[in-house]
Structure 1
Amino acid sequence: MGKVASLAALAASFTVVAGQTYQRLGACPSLGCVLPPDQSDFLPGQYFDLRVEVHAPVNGSEAYNDGKPDEKFSVTITKEGGKAQDIAKFFDIEEPELEKWDFSWYEDLYAEDADAPSVVNVAAKAYRRLALYEPGTYHVELSYYGDKTTRAEWVVRPLATKKKAKNVILFIGDGMTTNMITAARLIGHKSINGKYQSLLQLDKFPVLGHQMTHSLDTYITDSANSASALYSGHKSTVNAMGVYADSSPDPFDDPKVETIVEILRRVWDSAWGAVSTAQIADATPIALTGHSRSRYQFGALVDQALNSVTNYTWTNQKGPDVWFGGGAEQFYPGKDSYKGEDYYAKFADAGYDISMNKTSLLELGNSSKALGIFCRSNLPVWLDRNVYTDNLADFTNDPTGAEGPALDLPGLKDMTLKAIDILHKRGGDKGFFLMAEGASIDKQMHALDYDRALGDLLELDDTVRATIAHLKAIGELENTLVIVTADHGHGFDVFGGVDTKYLSEQSTNRAKRRAVGTYQNSGLSQYTDAAPGVSYNTGAHFPVNWDPRYTLAQGFGAMPDHRENFRVHKNGPRTPAAEIEGFDEDDNFANPEDNPDGFVVNGTLATDEASGVHSLTDVPVFAMGPCQASFGGVYGNIDIFYKIASCLGLGRPDAKAGGDPGKPSCSKSHE
C-alpha cells in the first residue's frame, strides 16, 4: 500500500469523465453494484445469480470512507405493486457469507501513462441459482454507507409455454454485415446489365430484421459477450460469457445466467449441438455452455461443456449431443488441455463417438453423441480447402497433436448436415437446437483478407441452402425455425473497382491509387467469368476465378497501417501489419512482406493494433419457419434469445421440472 499512498495525490488530480475509456466496473457506475444491473430482462424460470458489491476506493478521484467498504449493507426486492422484502427471504435461501477483496484500475490514459492505479476495497455477497417465475417488473435495492442506494429495475418477460417450433437452427456468420453479404453476392453470382441471374440463399428468406449489437458497457462488442446476449438474453462485457462480470479475482465466480440450451435441456430434454469452423472453445460456440469472465479459459470451458458448471445442476444430461469444430490442443493431453488431461478420452468415456477427419465424420452413426475435432486451432478457410489447396501442407495442425498438417478436412456444410442427422435421431419428438457458425468471416476480416472472408461467407450461404434442402428431405422443414444472423459487424464496404495490373506496374503510391475506379469507372465483376484453362471443383454459387485483373476496391474503417493491392493472397492467409525490428514492441507498421506492389494505407487505430476491429453497425437477421414473423424489425441482440425461447415455449411459470412437449403447433404459413 506504500506505493499506492505515494501516488494518491497524483491520481486524485485525474478527473473521471462519463463514458470514459477505462471503467472501474462496467455494469457499476456508482460505489454500490447490483449484478444483474438496471434494465436486465429475464425469462420466467431462468436461473441466474445475484452479486452485490460495495466499493471503497482507496485513492483516485473516487476515494471514499478511508478505503473501508460498508460490510453491513442490505438488499431488498419489490415486485411492482407489492412490498419490499429481504432478498434472501424472498427467494427462500440462506443469507450468503460476506466476501472481501481488492482490485485496481486506471481511471484514464493519463493515469496509465503515470502508472498510477486506483485501488478499490470491496465487500460483497453472491446469491446463487435464483429464478423469477412471475412476469412483471421487479425493483432491487442495495442500501449502503447509511444514505446511499443503488437500484436496479428488472423485467421478467411474458410467459411462453406453447412450443411452436420443434427444432431451431441458428446460423451465425461471425462478424457478417449487410455490406459483406452484398460483396459476396457480387463475386459469387453473375449479373447481366445490373440484374443478378442467381441469388444467395439468404436473399430468399421471407423475413429480414436487424439487431443492435451494443455491449453492456461499450458500443463495440466482441464475440464472447455478443454470443452471451444471443444465447441468454443478458448483455455482458467484452471477453465475458454467461456471466455478469464482477470485480472479484476469480474469473469463474461471477454471477451466472442460464443459456438457451441449458434451459431447453432442462425443460424439454431436447437434443442440442454446436458446429463451428473455429476452435470449438472459441467464443461463439463455447458461450452456449460457458460461464466465465474470460473467454480465454479454453480448457476449463471445454470441461464446463462436458460436465456443466461446478455446483450447478442446470441440465439433466451432460454435454452436447453433437460438437464439431477445431481446437484439438484443448483435447489431447498437454499444456492447453484442462489440467493437462485427455479430453478425447473423457468424451469417449461419456459415450461420445470421436471423429478426427472428414472420412470418419461421414461414417458416424446417428444414434450416439458425437465429438468431431478436425485440427488444431481454427479450420483452414474455404479458399484454402478448395482452391489454394497447396497451402494446407504449410499448416501444423494435426488433431492428434502430431507434427504435420490436417488434410482430410470437412467443411461447414459437411459438419452441419451430419449434425442435423444426429440431432434429428437423438432428439426425436422432443426436437433439437443447433448452432452452426461460419467463424472465419470474422477472423479473415480482422486480417483484412477480404477474399478469404467472403469465401467463408459464401460457404455459410451454401450450407444454409443445403440445410433447407436436407430438412425438406427428412420431413422437418415445416417444423424448424431457421435463423441466420451475426454476432457483430465490421466497418467493411466495397467502394469501386480496381485494375490490379495497372496498380502493380506503377512506381509511386499516388500513381497506384489511380487504379481505383469509382462510380462510372468502377466496372463490373470478373469473378464469375471462367478463366481459360482454370477449373475449380467448388460447385455452384462460388467464383470460378478468384484472381481477376479487375477486382473489388474494398476496405475497412478501423484498420492498422497496411499495403493494399486488392488481390487475392494465393500463398496463405494475410498478415497486414507487423512489428519491425528496431522499434518498440507492440508498435505495428505496414507489413513490408504483404502486398509489396501495393500502396500504403494509413491506419485509423492505435499502433498496438495489428488487425482490423469490430464496428458499431447493426447486423441482419434472416428467418424462416415457425415464428418467422417475430424476427422482422429492429431490436436488441438479447431479443434473439427471447424470440427463440418464446417459439420453443421456454418461458414457464415453473420451469423446475420438464414436461411432455407433445406435438409442436407448426403453421404451414409460418405466420
Structure 2
Amino acid sequence: MRPSISVIACLVSSTLAQTFQRLGGCPDLGCVFPPDQADFLAGQYFDIRLEVHSPVNGSEARVGEPDPDFKFTITKKNQKPVAATKFFKIEEPALENWNFSWYEDLFAQDADKPSLVNVTSKIYRRVALYEPGEYEATLTYYGNQKTVANWLVRDLPTKRRAKNVVMFIGDGMTTNMITAARLIAHRSINGKYMTKMALDKFPVLGHQMTHSMDSFITDSANSATALYSGHKTTVNALNVYVDSSSDPFDDPRFETISEIFRRRYPDGGVGIVSTAFLADATPAGLAAHTSDRGEYDHVISAYYEGMTKHEWTEWNGPDVLLGAGAEDFLKSDKRRDYYNLFAEKGYNVAWNNTALKDAPSDEKLLGVFQKSNLATWLDRNVYQANLLNQSNYPDGSGRDAEDLPGLKDMTLKAIDVLNERHSDDGWFLMSEAASIDKQMHTLDYDRSLGELLELDDTVRATIEKLKHLGELDDTLIIVTADHGHGFDVTGAVDTEYLEAQEDDRSKRNAVGYYENSGLSQYTVGGPNSLRYSEGVHFPSRWDPRYTLHSGVVAFPDHRENYQVHSEGPRKPAATTNDKKNGYYASYKDAVTGFVVNGTLPLDAGQGVHSLTDVPVFAQGPCQELFGGVYNSIDIFFNMAECLGLSEKKHHGH
C-alpha cells in the first residue's frame, strides 16, 4: 500500500468549476478511467484506474474516509454485469491510498485555501476488449452511489489495405496559415495562382476537432495522444489518463499506434522525425506514457527501452529517430549516456547532415543534430549568421551546429531506412514540422510560415520519393495538425511609412486593408533575392517594403513593426527583476514599431493555442476515410483500420 502523500496542484481538469477541476473526467466522487465515452480499438491494451474520493473540506466536504469496499463490474450492453476480475480473468489488485489538494476556484487560489481529498484506489493493468460493441463499466461506492463509464469498441474491418503510413504533423498549423504561406511563396496574376502547394493537390480534405478531455483548448501532449491512440486525455499528459496521485508514471496507460503496429507486425518498421527536441510532446507521444510531458528522461528512455514497466509488451524502439535536443542524450550526473546506449543497441549515430546522408540505410539510425530545437528554415537558408555563436553542437563540445539537415533531409532518409529494412512488412513514419507552432507562439510569423513551406516542400519530395521506390500506391499519406493558433492576415503594412511616423497611433495608419491591402511582394525578386520561388516555392525575398498585416488573437504585451526578424528568432515579451509583475513588451523587439497591449494573463510571455478545427489532407489507400468533419481520435482509428490493426475475438469470460 502506498504511503499517504499530499499534492498541492491545480489539476487542470470535477464538475464544480470551469477553471479548476478536482480531477478531469471524474463526474462525481467515484472515478473510472478510461472515463465515460472512451473509444477503443479491438485488442488495444489499456489499464483501468478506479478512485473513490472523500473531500475533507471545501464545497464537496463529507464525513469520513473514502470507501475501501467499492465494487467494479463490466458488462457488454444488455448482458449481465460481472466483476472485472472475472471478466478479464485477472487477480484483484491491491488497494492503494493517498490524498491530494486542489483549488476550487481563483478566489481559493488567491487566498491559498486548498481543498483536501482522501483517496482509495485500484488499478487493473494491461487488459483488452476484443468484441466490438458498447460496454458499461460501473463503480459502486458509498453503499449505492454509482459512476458509470460507457465504452465503445469500434467495429472496424480487419483487412489491411495500406502497407505503409506517412503521417505529417504541422504542429499548430491552421488553414489560415496555409493560405498565408501560399500567398508569400506562390505567384498570382489577377487573383489566380500560377502554381499550387503540394497540400493543395491532395484528393481528400477533412477537418478534425482538437478539444481535450476536460478542456476545449488542447496542448501538444494530449492532442498527440488522441491522434496516436484514439483516447482523449488531459493537458500535459502522454498516453495516460491522469489520476490524482503524485507519481507521473503510475497513471492508467493505453497503447499507441506505434506499439500496436509493432506488436501485430513484429517485422514492421517505425520512424520518428521532428524538428523539435526529441523529448518534446509530439514525437514523445509515440513512445512515452506519463502524466507529465516534462519528464524528458522518461521519454528518451522509452525510445531506448520500450514499454517494459507494468508488464506491457516491449516495442523495442523506433528504427529511425531523427531530430534535435542533444541535452537529453548527453551523459550527466542524473542522465545516462544515451548516445553510447543507442550505439550499443545497433544504432548508427549521426550528428550532422553529412553523417545523416552517409549513414547506411540497412541499419537503425539515431540522428541528433543540435541542442534544443532545430534551427528554423529561415535561419538555415537565409539568415545563416544566426547559426553562429550558439555553442550547440550535439556532442556537447561547445562548437556551433552549422551542418544541419532540414525536415526534408530527415524525412527522405527515414524513408530510405524504413523501406530498406521493412519493404516486405511495411512501416509507419511520423514526421513533424514542430516550429510552425514554436515560432507562432513567439509571434514570429515569418519563421512559422517558413516552417510550413518547408513542410509543404517535404510532402512534395516524399511523394516523389515513394513514387521512385514503387511504394506510393501502397502508402497512406496524411498531413494534419495537432491543434491550431488564432492566426490570420487582414491586410498589408507599408513598413517604410510605419518607420517614418513618430507616434504609435500614426504608425497604425501604415496598415492597408480591403482595396489598400495590395498584392504580395514576397514573390518579387529584390536586391538580396535568393529566388526561392523558382520551383521549390519559398519567397524570393523575406523583407519587402509591403509585408503582411498578420497576428494572433491572444498575446502578451509586445511591439509590432511587421518586419522579418533577420537577427534571430523573436522574443516579443520580457520580465522585470520582479517576476510577479509578469511580462511586458520587450524594448529590444520591433523597436521601430508600436506597442500592442496584451490580452493574456500577465504570467503569459507568448501566444497560446486556439479552439480552431485543423485541416487533414489524405492521399493513398483509405483516403476516403479522412473526408468531412470529425474528432481528432478518428485519425487514429482510420489509420488503424487502414493498417488492419483491429484484433477481434470472443472474450470467453
Q: CA deviation at 1:532?
A: 2.6
Aligned to 2:572: 576
Deviations 1:438-487 (A, max 9, x none): 00000000000000000000000000000000000000000000000000
Q: Secondary structure at the match of 2:424?
A: helix
CA–CA distance in structure 1, aligned partners of residues 346 and 394 of structure 2: 20
Aligned to 1:592: 587
Deviations 1:205-247 (A, max 9, x none): 0000000000000000000000000000000100001100000
1:110 to 83, 107, 111: 107
Q: CA deviation at 1:512?
A: 0.2
Equivalences for 1:627-666 in 2 at 5 Å? Answer: 627-654=622-649
Q: Which amino acid aligns with 2:627?
A: G
Q: Secondary structure at the match of 2:423?
A: helix
Matched, 1:222 2:219: yes
Is contact 1:160-1:646 (8 Å) kept?
yes
Q: CA deviation at 1:654?
A: 4.8
Q: CA deviation at 1:371?
A: 0.5
Aligned to 1:347: 342
1:134 to 90, 107, 131: 131
Q: CA deviation at 1:159?
A: 3.5
2:293 to 285, 292, 295: 295
Aligned to 1:494: 489
CA distance 1:325–1:655, change in 2 (3 Å)? farther
CA–CA distance in structure 2, aligned partners of residues 297 and 411 of structure 1: 26
Q: Which amino acid aligns with 1:384?
A: D
CA distance 1:533–1:64, change in 2 (3 Å)? closer
Aligned to 2:538: 542
Q: CA deviation at 1:301?
A: 1.3
CA–CA distance in structure 2, aligned partners of residues 641 and 292 of structure 1: 19
Is contact 1:45-1:655 (8 Å) kept?
no
Q: Secondary structure at the match of 2:580?
A: coil
Aligned to 1:262: 259
Deviations 1:298-350 (A, max 9, x none): 01111012212333565565110000000111111015xxx421001111111
CA–CA distance in structure 2, aligned partners of residues 626 and 548 of structure 1: 43
Equivalences for 1:42-191 in 2 at 5 Å? Answer: 42-66=40-64, 68-191=65-188
CA distance 1:655–1:199, change in 2 (3 Å)? farther
Q: Which amino acid aligns with 1:134?
A: E
CA distance 1:271–1:104, change in 2 (3 Å)? same
CA–CA distance in structure 2, aligned partners of residues 655 and 159 of structure 1: 15
Matched, 1:612 2:607: yes
CA–CA distance in structure 2, aligned partners of residues 112 and 612 of structure 1: 24
Aligned to 1:38: 36
Aligned to 2:559: 563
Aligned to 2:239: 242
Matched, 1:206 2:203: yes
Q: Secondary structure at the match of 1:199?
A: coil
Is contact 1:217-1:237 (8 Å) kept?
yes
Is contact 2:207-2:630 (8 Å) kept?
yes
CA–CA distance in structure 2, aligned partners of residues 150 and 379 of structure 1: 46
Q: CA deviation at 1:425?
A: 1.2
Aligned to 1:7: none
CA distance 1:185–1:537, change in 2 (3 Å)? closer
CA distance 1:379–1:584, change in 2 (3 Å)? closer
Aligned to 1:329: 327
CA distance 1:655–1:466, change in 2 (3 Å)? farther
CA distance 1:422–1:312, change in 2 (3 Å)? farther
Q: Which amino acid aligns with 1:56?
A: S
1:477 to 429, 452, 472: 472
CA–CA distance in structure 2, aligned partners of residues 535 and 163 of structure 1: 46
Is contact 2:306-2:315 (8 Å) kept?
no
2:456 to 451, 461, 464: 461
CA–CA distance in structure 1, aligned partners of residues 177 and 324 of structure 2: 24
Is contact 1:213-1:488 (8 Å) kept?
yes
Is contact 2:218-2:235 (8 Å) kept?
yes
Aligned to 2:409: 414
Aligned to 1:29: 27
Deviations 1:113-161 (A, max 9, x none): 0000111110000000000000000000000011211000000001431
Is contact 1:103-1:120 (8 Å) kept?
yes
Q: Secondary structure at the match of 1:585?
A: helix
CA–CA distance in structure 2, aligned partners of residues 182 and 512 of structure 1: 26
Aligned to 1:667: none
CA–CA distance in structure 1, aligned partners of residues 379 and 313 of structure 2: 39
Is contact 2:162-2:475 (8 Å) kept?
yes
Q: Which amino acid aligns with 2:589?
A: D
Is contact 1:69-1:123 (8 Å) kept?
yes
CA–CA distance in structure 1, aligned partners of residues 135 and 603 of structure 2: 44
Deviations 1:263-320 (A, max 9, x none): 0000012101100000111000011011000000001111012212333565565110
CA–CA distance in structure 2, aligned partners of residues 151 and 173 of structure 1: 37
Is contact 2:186-2:533 (8 Å) kept?
no
CA–CA distance in structure 2, aligned partners of residues 455 and 117 of structure 1: 46
Deviates more, 1:533-542 or 1:154-163: 533-542
CA–CA distance in structure 2, aligned partners of residues 435 and 103 of structure 1: 37
Q: Secondary structure at the match of 1:284?
A: helix
TM-score (norm 1): 0.93
Deviates more, 1:79-88 or 1:169-178: 79-88
CA–CA distance in structure 2, aligned partners of residues 622 and 547 of structure 1: 31
Aligned to 1:424: 419
CA–CA distance in structure 2, aligned partners of residues 627 and 181 of structure 1: 24
Is contact 2:74-2:136 (8 Å) kept?
yes
Aligned to 1:9: none
Is contact 2:481-2:616 (8 Å) kept?
yes
Q: Size of the alignment, in residue pairs?
A: 637
CA distance 1:522–1:511, change in 2 (3 Å)? same
CA–CA distance in structure 1, aligned partners of residues 512 and 16 of structure 2: 43
Structure 1 runs not aligned, ≥5 long: 5-15, 657-671
Q: Secondary structure at the match of 1:397?
A: coil
CA–CA distance in structure 1, aligned partners of residues 91 and 157 of structure 2: 30
CA–CA distance in structure 1, aligned partners of residues 322 and 437 of structure 2: 19
Aligned to 1:509: 504
CA–CA distance in structure 1, aligned partners of residues 236 and 380 of structure 2: 30
Structure 2 runs not aligned, ≥5 long: 1-5, 7-13
CA–CA distance in structure 2, aligned partners of residues 215 and 643 of structure 1: 19
Is contact 2:126-2:311 (8 Å) kept?
no
Q: Secondary structure at the match of 1:102?
A: strand
Is contact 1:266-1:314 (8 Å) kept?
no
Q: CA deviation at 1:651?
A: 0.7
Q: Secondary structure at the match of 2:207?
A: strand
Deviations 1:76-130 (A, max 9, x none): 0010121100011110000000000011111100000000011111000000000
The percent identity for this pair of structures is 61
CA–CA distance in structure 1, aligned partners of residues 310 and 324 of structure 2: 27
Q: Which amino acid aligns with 2:200?
A: D
CA distance 1:119–1:544, change in 2 (3 Å)? same
TM-score (norm 2): 0.96
Deviations 1:149-183 (A, max 9, x none): 10000000014311100000000000000000000
Is contact 1:46-1:655 (8 Å) kept?
no
